[in-house]
Amino acid sequence: MIKQVVKKFSLLQLVSCGFIVLFVFLLVLFSSHILNPTSFKKELSTSYQDKINYQVYLTANNFINPPVLGMDRTYVSSMVDNILIDFREISLYKESKSFYYNYNIYAKLSVNYKEDNEEDGLLFEKVYPLKVVDNQEKVGKTLTIQERVSIPFKNYQNIVNEFKNTYHLGIYSKLDIIMDINYQYEDEKKEKSMSLSIPMNQDVFNISLDYKKNDNSYEKVEISNMKIPCGAVVTILIVLGFVEVILLGLVILKVICIYSISEYERVRNKIKKDYGSIIVDIDNKIDFSKFTIFEIKTIGEMVDLEEELRIPILFYENAKERVGYFVIIKDHYMYRFTLRNNAIEIL
């Protein structure tokens, strides 16, 4: 059966099938990620959304009514009474678990020496606590912290003016309102800070904000790369590997058959290929004793006779002894060209 398969298919067909099976094998192997079944990716564990809003309340005056100004304005220091500040922070967690947090809101007044419009060193700094919230625990996925503080602007301004009038120095001062938040979510610890800065010894001033509106934390998560079950992949690979081994064996046998062909077979195949249109294969054994035989030396002479007599050439082979007979029969006469295993064709 194996010999029949080898004879039925050409070497090119067997090699092509081998490459196709090998391609499918590699495709399944790499697309299934069986060599690398898992990998890591960054996955969002916590996200933070921060926001600071403020309103500036003015003393009674004849120019601005109602005496409340919103954000991102320029303000006249002598008109400002107090500033109302809203801090809001929302934390969104991946899973609902226990987490801990605390926060602290404070005002930091700093005074720097200033000469020739250049800031030159810190003179003093003082911190004023506004609100402290100790460790808190919550279970869930969301935490919202929202606090409002009122800043008596004139009180801080009076402190700065008293220092300036007492020591008669050129100074630059500012008031920073800061909210520090500490979190612990499982092994993840995070510190955050939101602040706004208010100049204190200027006739007019602008308020600046310093915080990230959005912040994220990530964790490494192991993910499966397998697109189909591992057992199915292994089974497919074994089957494809088995088929590939069979095809490789058939290719080797085909190559052996091609390069081990005898001289007789080579000449016979060449004759039948070149003159196949005028040669007829027969299976019946010829009884040469019934004919007067004329031996022909070359196949070329047989072809000339075929053209002259218009009678097809019959081919009969004794495969066991590797002897082939090309004959033309007319009446009781036979023209015969005999091809033997050790014969060399002479055209």
In whole angstroms, how far apart are CA 329 and each of 239, 297, 310, 346?
56, 16, 11, 22
Model confidence at 283, pLDDT cuts 50, 70, 90, reads confident
* Percent over 90 (pLDDT), the chain: 37
Q: Taking the complete model, does pTM exceed 0.75, yes or no?
A: no
Return the closest-CA partner of residue 315 out of 299, 292, 297: 299
Q: Is the distance from CB of 166 to CB of 131 less than 8 angstroms?
A: no
> Is 256 buried (19+), middle (13-18) or exposed (0-12) by CB count in 10 A?
exposed
Three-state DSSP class for 340?
coil
Q: pLDDT tens, 173-202?
A: 999 999 999 988 777 788 889 999 999 988
Phi, psi of 228, rounded to the nearest 5 degrees: -130, 160
Edge-first strand listing for the sheet containing 279-281: 279-281, 313-318, 323-330, 333-339, 292-295
What is the residue-averaged pLDDT of the chain? 86
Residue 58: pLDDT above 80? yes
Task: Return the pLDDT at 347.
Answer: 41
Q: CA-CA distance, 336 to 297, in Å (whole number)? A: 9
Helices (H), 203-311: 230-259, 263-274, 299-309
* Type of residue numbered 204: V
Model confidence at 127, pLDDT cuts 50, 70, 90, reads very high
Residue 121: pLDDT above 50? yes
Residues 6+ apart with CB under 8 A from 41: 220, 221, 223
Comparing 24-33, 82-91, 298-307, which segment has the lowest mean pLDDT?
A: 24-33
Task: Return the pLDDT at 132.
Answer: 94
Model confidence at 117, pLDDT cuts 50, 70, 90, reads low
Residue 300: pLDDT above 80? yes
Q: How far is CA 137 from the centre of its chain?
A: 40
Q: CA-CA distance, 314 to 330, in Å (whole number)? A: 12
Model confidence at 153, pLDDT cuts 50, 70, 90, reads very high
- Tell me which long-range contacts 215-219 makes (C-beta under 8 A, separation of at least 24): 215/47, 215/48, 215/50, 216/44, 216/46, 216/47, 216/48, 217/44, 217/45, 217/46, 217/47, 217/188, 217/190, 218/42, 218/43, 218/44, 218/45, 219/42, 219/43, 219/45, 219/94, 219/188
What number is the average pLDDT over the span 82-107? 91
Residue 221: pLDDT above 50? yes
What number is the average pLDDT over the span 245-267? 79
Return the closest-CA partner of residue 188 out of 222, 162, 217: 217
The token pair at 256 is 């052996």
Task: Return the pLDDT at 82.
Answer: 95
- Which helix H or strand E contains 34, and what residues bound it? none
Residue 118: pLDDT above 80? no
What number is the average pLDDT over the span 271-292? 89
Comparing 34-38, 52-56, 123-127, 212-216, which segment has the lowest mean pLDDT?
A: 34-38
Residue 3: pLDDT above 70? no
Residue 108: pLDDT above 70? yes
Task: Return the pLDDT at 4.
Answer: 67
Q: CA-CA distance, 143 to 193, in Å (whole number)? A: 16
Strand pairing report for 333-339 and 292-295: parallel
Helices (H), 104-152: none
Q: CA-CA distance, 93 to 188, in Å (whole number)? A: 11
What number is the average pLDDT over the span 282-286? 87
Q: CA-CA distance, 233 to 33, in Å (whole number)? A: 10
Return the closest-CA partner of residue 123 out of 175, 159, 171, 158: 171
Model confidence at 147, pLDDT cuts 50, 70, 90, reads very high
